[in-house]
Amino acid sequence: MSESSGSDQRLAVVVLAAGQGTRMKSAHAKVLHHLGGKPLVRHVLDACAPLGAARTAVVVGHQADAVEAACDGYGASFALQREQRGTGHAVRIACEASLDGFAGDVVIVYGDVPLLETGTLQRLLRRHREQGALLSLLTTVVDDPFGYGRIVRDADGRLEAIVEERDASVAQKPIREVNPGIYCARSGFLVEALAELVPNNAQGELYLTDIVAAAVRGGGNVCTEPVDPHEVAGINSRAELARLEGILRQTIVARHMAAGVTFLDPATAYVDASVTIGADTVIGPGVHLHGRTTIGRDCTIDGNAYVTDSELADGVHLRPMVVLTEATVGRGAIIGPFAQLRPGAELHEDVHIGNFVEVKKSVIGRGTKANHLAYLGDATIGSASNIGAGTITCNYDGFAKHRTVIGDRVQIGSDSQLVAPVTIGDDAYVATGTTVRHDVEPGALAFNPRPDQRRAGWVEGFRKRQAPKKKS
C-alpha cells in the first residue's frame, strides 16, 4: 500500500518502544534485549513490514539512539517521548511527530511483543475495515489476568471499556478476557480521542485504553478480534524473556522439521529465525545456528557445533565441537572435530579441516587437507595440497599482518613454520620441521639442514647423576 492510495486503504504503524523495562534489571532498554538472535523491537517490525504501511513511526525514549539504530532498515521515523507519561501520551507524540496530515488507519503495537504474527495483524485490519469500525483491538483470554487491562463488556457482549489492573474494581479483577494492547483505529478518530485524554487514574498517566471508552461514548463501532495469548505475550522480566525464547525455539525447529530437516534432539537446538536450512540435513544435539547462517541440503551437523553468520553448501559435514563465524564452506567439506573457522575463512569443495585446526581470513582450494593441529591465518592455499600437523602461518610481525600463498598439490611437512609474506609454488615440498622465510619455487624441496646428533650411553649417566637428588 502506498501513501497515494485511497484514504480507506492507507495505513500507518506506530510501535511503542520508549520504556526502560525496570523489571529487566538491565542497563539496556527492554526492546534491545535479544530473542531468537535479534532485538525484540525487530521482531515486531518484521511482523508489521508485510502490511505495507505508508508510514511507520517508532516511539523512543530510554536509550533512544540505540533503539533507533536497532530499527535501521525499516524506513521508520522516530518520535521522542522525553517524559514517560503513559501509552496514550506516547501515541499522541507519534501522531504529532510522524503522522501529521495522515488520513487512513493506524495500527498500534508494542515493541516488546516479539511473537506477534503478520497474519494476526492482517486479520485485525481486515475485520476493522469490513466492519467500518472506528476502533478495533485484539483481545485474549488468560488463566491469570493480573497486570492486564480487563475487557469490560455490557449485557449484550459489546465492548464497553478497558480497565487497568490498578483501577479495576473487585468485580472486574476476575475478568479473564484482557487487552494485549494491539489496536487499529481511524486516524481522525485517534487524533481527536488522544487530544481528550486526561490522567484520571492512580498513576497520573494518559492511558491509550481510554480511547475505547471514547469510541463507545461517540456511538462508533468498536470491534474485537481474538488471539492466542502466547502470540501477544509481552516481556517484562528475564524469566518471561527465557519463556518466550523457549516458545520461539520450538516454533522455529518445528518449521524446519516440517520442511524436511532432521533434529536428533529438538529440545537442545538453538536456531535463530533468520537461519535457513536445506532439506535432508541432520542436526545433532546442542547445535547453535545464529544470525544469517545458511545451511545447504544433505548436510550433517554433529553435536555442539556453534555456527554464526556462515554459509554451508550441500553435503557439508561438521563434526562435534566446531565453531564457525562468518565463514564459507564448499560442497562436501568436512570440518572438525574441535576446529574453528574464524571470519574470512573460505573453504572450497571437499576441503578437510581436522581436529584443533584454526582458519582465519584464508582461502583454501578444492580437496586440500589440514587434518591436525594447525593455524592457517591470512593465507591463500591452492587445491589438493596437504598441510601437516603443527603447521603455522606466521602472519603477524608485531605491526602488520602478511599473507602466505601456497600453490596446488603442495606438501607441507609437520611442525613447519611459514613466515609471511612468503609464497610456496605448485608441487613444492616443505620438509618436516622447516622454517620457511623465503619463497619456494614450484617443484622444489624446502628444508632446514639439521643433522641428527647422538651421544651414546648418555641416558645411563643422566640417571646416575639424578639419583642422589631423589627424596627418600
Catalytic, 317? Answer no
Distance CA(403)–CA(418), nearest Å, equals: 10
Query: Residues 367, 386: contact at Cβ < 8 Å?
Result: no
Query: Residues 255, 277: contact at Cβ < 8 Å?
Result: no
Query: Residues 411, 385: contact at Cβ < 8 Å?
Result: yes
Residue type, 191: V
In the numeric block, the cell 497520573 is attached to 204
Please name the residue ranges forming H helices in 200-355: 210-217, 238-258
Distance CA(469)–CA(472), nearest Å, equals: 9
Residues 6 or more apart whose Cβ sits within 8 Å of residue 420: 378, 379, 393, 394, 395, 401, 402, 403, 404
Please name the residue ranges forming H helices in 185-324: 187-195, 210-217, 238-258
Instruction: State the number of CA atoms in the 13 A half-sphere of 9 facing the CB.
Output: 7
Distance CA(357)–CA(436), nearest Å, equals: 20
56 pairs with which residues across the strands?
A: 13
405 pairs with which residues across the strands?
A: 380, 423
Query: Residues 20, 113: contact at Cβ < 8 Å?
Result: no
CA dihedral of 212, 218, 220, 223, whole degrees rounded to 10:
20
Q: Which candidate in 28, 34, 372, 402 is catalytic?
A: 372
Residue type, 302: D
Distance CA(342)–CA(310), nearest Å, equals: 10
CA dihedral of 257, 261, 264, 269, whole degrees rounded to 10:
-70
Residues 6 or more apart whose Cβ sits within 8 Å of residue 179: 137, 138, 139, 148, 149, 150, 151, 162, 209
Cell triple for 47: 511482523
Cell triple for 425: 609454488
Residues 6 or more apart whose Cβ sits within 8 Å of residue 468: none
Look at phi and psi of residue 399 and say left if phi exceeds 0, alpha if psi is from -120 to 50, else beta: alpha
| Residues designated catalytic | 372
